[in-house]
Amino acid sequence: MRLAVVGAGAVGRSVVDLAGEYGHEVVAVADSSSAVVADGVDSRHSGVDSDAVVARKAERGIVGDDDPEDALAADYDVLIEATPTTLGDAEPGFSHVRTALERDRHAVLANKGPVAERFGDLRGLVDDSDGEIRFEATVGGAIPAVSTVEDIEPGHVTAVRGVLNGTANFILTRMAAEGLDYEHVLAEAQDLGVAEADPSFDVDGTDAALKCVILANVLSFGAADDPADAREFTLADADVEGIRDVPGSALRLAAEDGRTVRLIGEATGETVRVAPRLVPENGTLAVSGTQNIVQIETTHAGRLNISGRGAGGPETASAVLGDVGRLE
Amino acid sequence: MRLAVVGAGAVGRSVVDLAGEYGHEVVAVADSSSAVVADGVDSRHSGVDSDAVVARKAERGIVGDDDPEDALAADYDVLIEATPTTLGDAEPGFSHVRTALERDRHAVLANKGPVAERFGDLRGLVDDSDGEIRFEATVGGAIPAVSTVEDIEPGHVTAVRGVLNGTANFILTRMAAEGLDYEHVLAEAQDLGVAEADPSFDVDGTDAALKCVILANVLSFGAADDPADAREFTLADADVEGIRDVPGSALRLAAEDGRTVRLIGEATGETVRVAPRLVPENGTLAVSGTQNIVQIETTHAGRLNISGRGAGGPETASAVLGDVGRLE
């Protein structure tokens, strides 16, 4: 497949870097201010020079001398939407996806915004298009959360819960392990690059909540006999509490009882909740560090647990490229 | 889809029982000596009476007054092969699958024999047929092991390992928890119905080895550029050691070091090994009781762990019916 990669952050750059290994070629790359579009002159090498693009971004801060609109207008099969997650109208990511679908191309998203905040609008675009959308990379990084849930008979998944934010999980793991308080461990996480300079998206539970909203939309629309009747979720429907107010004393108290604290998100076809919870300290949900885990409750197959790396350029890119493979 | 269910043990009966919930109808059921075939007279209810079939099997030991050959000759879309696993020539299961494929129908297997012992022959039948085969239910019960591995880019899975036999795992879990020896816990497991009167298939590691052989075949054929060059595995290629000789003292010694013992199977595209191994006692591989876990090593996405119920009628039936859904 020919890919147009929109967004040149860690995920976009990894997709550009790895696409060839998956048998795909990158025909265009765009960041917020620039683009590079393959000219298709040499039919054997009609993709962009991946190494050059990544190097140019590192050295000059741009991917090429073209305009981002040129990437959206290029001749691609799949648009990879890897721009930063935005809330509300989920722009400009939503418009990138709309442009692809209106051109009857496919879109694969790593950007959670459109899938969490405008799921109904996306479904409408897909209904009117020959293209499809997929969004495995929006939930759980390398964990095939969305495809595993979708693979289970519609209506046979009653809930999905888990540890879905590696930053918050790293902080709680270190607080428990070292007996340190939140501020101290946050500073350590920022030094390591595990937490951002402004960590609120992660530590306030927003990132985990967006992922749960996406899962709730998948469950809701999957179970509905008529999609027109399916309830659509957005971030506003989520009941969210982060980890800023978890004191070190709570973790010590929990440990005396063989428990610990994890930021747990849960989605059903009816509700979305994110909050710190007590869990058995050696139990399944007590994954460590930046690991994620997704726990799927099913009607006939009991509970499935899938854990793995929740984030990272190559990890998320493998989820994106896995989705491209499912389109073929 | 119209299903012909061959095999009326726990798995076959559960498939008959649950097929309707998945939108499929059962048009024939066979056990080793009898069959029932829907007569198709009433077009709205052209399937068999599932409750009656299950009741008849319980009361009379047969499923109907027809001959098993009538089920194989019936008008179905998918043959469900759920007869007991046999080794070597994998008969009669292999012939049931061959009959379906030669009639250009699909076959979904819960029976490990043909997939572990005659994978190349199965591939040959599929090459000459309009039908496909699927075999999720042969590995890991409710865990979507095969489909998750298949969903990852060919060649990007370097190894699959795990706890794949619930009987052996239950015995080791109880030995560690109670400080009892193997013979004592085996008797308990047999009383509970977790171990068979002749437990050798489970405790000698044969069942786990067959599952690893199946995974090795999936990895080997998945990674090969030309299937004709792919190495085919059978049980004879597996290096297998069971749990009969694990003394209670080994578990006590392990516990002093924060470890325990689990029967671990591992498959790569080159090797298959099953043996008791020391694992961290609170680690990912130390699942408890009859749980199974599959650990997938990938090139770009790190390690994925999937755990869940490894066996059971409804659990295995959900894997079978999930495969039917993937055929559509």
Confidence tier at B40 by pLDDT (50, 70, 90): low
Asked if B7 and B136 sit in the same domain, the reply is yes
Q: Is the pLDDT reported for residue B236 higher than 60?
A: yes
**Which of helix, strand or coil describes residue B25?**
strand
If asked whether residues A323 and A252 sit together in one domain, one would say: no
Query: Domain check: are A123 and A63 in the same one?
Result: yes
> A106-109 and A133-134 as β-strands: parallel, antiparallel, unpaired?
parallel
In chain A, the number of structural domains is: 2
Distance CA B234, CA A140 (A): 36
* Domain co-membership, A188 together with A124: no
Residues A57, A101: one domain? yes
pLDDT (tens digit, 9 = 90+) per residue, A49-81?
A: 999 998 999 899 999 999 999 999 999 999 999
Q: How far apart are CA A125 and CA A109, in angstroms?
A: 14
Taking the C-alpha atoms of residue A286 and residue A261, their distance in angstroms, rounded to an integer, is: 8
End-to-end CA distance of chain B: 8
Average pLDDT, chain B: 95
Compute CA A2 distance to the chain's CA centroid, rounded to the nearest angstrom.
22
Cα A140 from Cα A316, distance rounded (Å): 9
For residue A44, pLDDT over 60 is answered with: no
- Say whether B301 and A142 touch across the interface (CB within 8 A): yes
Inter-residue contact B203 to B279 (CB < 8 Å): no
Q: Which amino acid would we find at residue A63?
A: V
Instruction: Provide the CATH number for the domain around residue B298.
Output: 3.30.360.10
Confidence grade of residue A304 (pLDDT, cut at 50, 70, 90): very high
What is the three-class DSSP state of B309?
Answer: strand
Q: Verify that B7 and B94 share a domain, yes or no.
A: yes
B213 and B288 within one domain: yes
Average pLDDT over residues B232-256: 96
Residues A57 and A201 in one domain: no
Q: Residue A98, SS3?
A: helix
Same domain, A57 and A202: no
Range B101-129 average pLDDT: 97
- In angstroms, the CA A133 to CA B115 distance is 34
pLDDT digits (tens, 9 = 90+) for A254-280: 999 999 999 999 999 999 999 999 999
Tokens of A322: 């896995």
Same domain, B158 and B239: yes
- DSSP state, A312? -
Q: Is A301 on the interface with B (CB under 8 A)?
A: yes
Q: Is B207 on the interface with A (CB under 8 A)?
A: no
Which two three-digit tokens encode residue B237?
């290629």
pLDDT digits 0-9 by tens, A127-161: 999 999 999 999 999 999 999 999 998 899 999 99
Q: Are residues A242 and A174 in the same domain?
A: yes
Joined together, the tokens standing for residue B151 give 């969903």
Contact B210, B116 (CB under 8 A): yes
Q: Is B225 an 8 Å CB contact of chain A? A: no
For residue A308, give the nearest of B22, B153, B304 by CB distance. Answer: B304
**For testing the chain A interface, which of B146, B290, B300 should be mutated: the one with the most A CBs within 10 Å?**
B300
Question: Sign (positive/negative) of CA torsion A62, A65, A69, A71?
Answer: negative
Q: A151 and A138, same structural domain?
A: no
Are B275 and B164 within 8 A, CB to CB?
A: no
Q: B213 lies in which domain range?
A: 145-309
What CATH number should be reported for the domain holding residue A19?
A: 3.40.50.720
Check CB contact of B65 with chain A, cutoff 8 Å.
no
- Best mutation target, A295, A300, A309, to test chain B (most B CBs within 10 A): A300
Give the gap in angstroms from C-alpha B236 to the nearest C-alpha of chain A: 31
Reply yes or no on whether A57 is catalytic: no
Quote the ipTM score.
0.93
